[in-house]
Amino acid sequence: MNTRPQLIAYADRLAGSVSGLADLLDGPLAGAFGGVHVLPFFTPHDGVDAGFDPRDHATVDPRLGTWDDMRSLAQGRTVMADLIVNHMSAESEQFLDVRERGDASPWAPMFLTLSSVFPDGAAEADLARVYRPRPGLPFTTMTLGGERRLVWTTFTSDQVDIDLRTPQAWDYLDSVVDALTAGGVTQIRLDAVGYTGKQAGTDCFMTPATDEYTERIVQRAHARGASVLVEVHGHHTQQIEIAQKVDHVYDFALPPLVLHALTAADLEPLAHWLRIRPANAMTVLDTHDGIGIVDVGPSDLRPGEPGLLEPDQIDALVEAIHHNSGGASRRATGAAASNLDLYQVNCTFYDALARDDQRYVLARLIQLFVPGTPQVYYVGLLAGENDMDLLQRTGVGRDVNRHHYTPDEIAHHLERPAVRAQLDALRVRAAHPAFDGAFTWDVQGTRGRMTWTAGDEHAELDFDVTDGAYAMTVSAGGGVVDVVSSGSLAARVG
């Protein structure tokens, strides 16, 4: 499996366009990344949910480029794109037709209403049981063909849920998969797939129907030469189970466990996770969403099963993030901002570590050494700070970590020691043969050692979470060379 690092980026917010993204990857970022996850570039890329509510999921927003630009981007690298499985825009051509014609529309069966899942009506207990990542019930009252209906809207009223029990839904999804794979995409990320299997008598999350739908999509992707990454936030045991059925899962537990290690000087929860985690994971520190908490805690989805962190450890971690960010994350999370997420803290990873360059680079190195395919979010690569101006303009909490970079800002940040250190490590991670070998690790109190070995080649990371000291070394020409260390970072800063 190709595990070279991948960049995660919005084309518009980092480079202005798809071709601009290619220029960055072939220019100042050359050698650091073997692939790129281009966050929603569909029409429109700037809807109410930053492109996760496309009106046309099968076209490239012309303001960003064309499918030819996407195919050019895919030359010599892996390109990942999103298949938004659970919902589509309330302003899509299909749903607008349903709004006008109601059940007379050929698209009517494709969209979920309350009665689609509960044809005999729903009791209070049925509705209270439905799992939703935000407060309130997942329904929006809309007029369809002159009749008031309760339309299923898991995320926002602008994103209407799709009924995957219908042929219309599968015709639609097939058309999107065809467009993506014809456009050079070879990895497909299933966005919000956990919410697709809505069934009466269940919590409507990760149900047996979800497994069936995921398998069908995987089969379709494989037939077109693409692999699949499943995006699910939930109890860590669910991630382990899902990993056995698909090509890739996210290691969403890693970010909070690394933060816990670096803020509480406690490596044991991370060590426990390393013993049981799936190897076919995409590792992240941050993404376009917040820092997941549900992924390391106990969950109503798995009653009685402990999390990777105890409740008091999670409380301390969240408070540490709020403190380290100067309270910015508190203003961007939960009831303080719209687009509420019950299971995430909205904050850049750099601010979550109090803008401490040494600890931040160590966090990245740990990610790069943990088995799997490292994905590095564009704001994280540039050691970005919380964008409170954008939050104030939009009121969307996750926008603190979705900065729009100008070319001058990019040039400036690429010269920062913390960014240069990350790029040095990424280029080694992308090319050194040791990372194709076997992984071992050892934890002794607050000290850790991670090692990759392939024949005579090796790469090693030694670190201590008490003071954030670290050294990354690799074999070269029969000897050993330093790649980055806390000492060399301090010299760069000096």
In the block, tokens 């934890």 appear at 443
The rounded radius of gyration (Å) of the Cα atoms in the chain is 22
> 15, 9 in Cβ contact below 8 A?
yes
Q: Is 178 a catalytic residue?
A: no
Residue type, 84: I
> 81, 185 in Cβ contact below 8 A?
yes
In the block, tokens 């299933």 appear at 190
> 364, 382 in Cβ contact below 8 A?
no
Residues 6 or more apart in contact with residue 256 via CB below 8 angstroms: 291, 292, 293, 295, 296, 309, 314, 317
In b/e form, how buried is each residue of 202-231, taking b as 16+ CB within 10 angstroms?
bebbbbebbeebbeebbebbeebebbbbbb
How far apart CA 84 and CA 415 sit, in angstroms, is 36
Catalytic residue chosen out of the listed positions 12, 69, 231, 341: 231
Decide: helix, strand or coil at residue 365.
helix
> 137, 181 in Cβ contact below 8 A?
no
Decide: helix, strand or coil at residue 229.
strand
Q: Is 231 a catalytic residue?
A: yes
How far apart CA 136 and CA 114 sit, in angstroms, is 15
| Ramachandran category for residue 372: left, alpha or beta (phi over 0 → left; psi -120 to 50 → alpha) | left
- E-strand stretches of 85-133: 87-89
- CA torsion sign for 247, 33, 80, 133 is positive
The β-bridge partners of 484 are 472
How far apart CA 147 and CA 157 sit, in angstroms, is 17
| Structure token digits, residue 94 | 């299909």
My answer on whether omega of the bond before 138 falls inside 30° of 0, hence cis, is: no
Catalytic residue chosen out of the listed positions 53, 69, 161, 191: 191
Q: Which residues are catalytic?
A: 191, 231
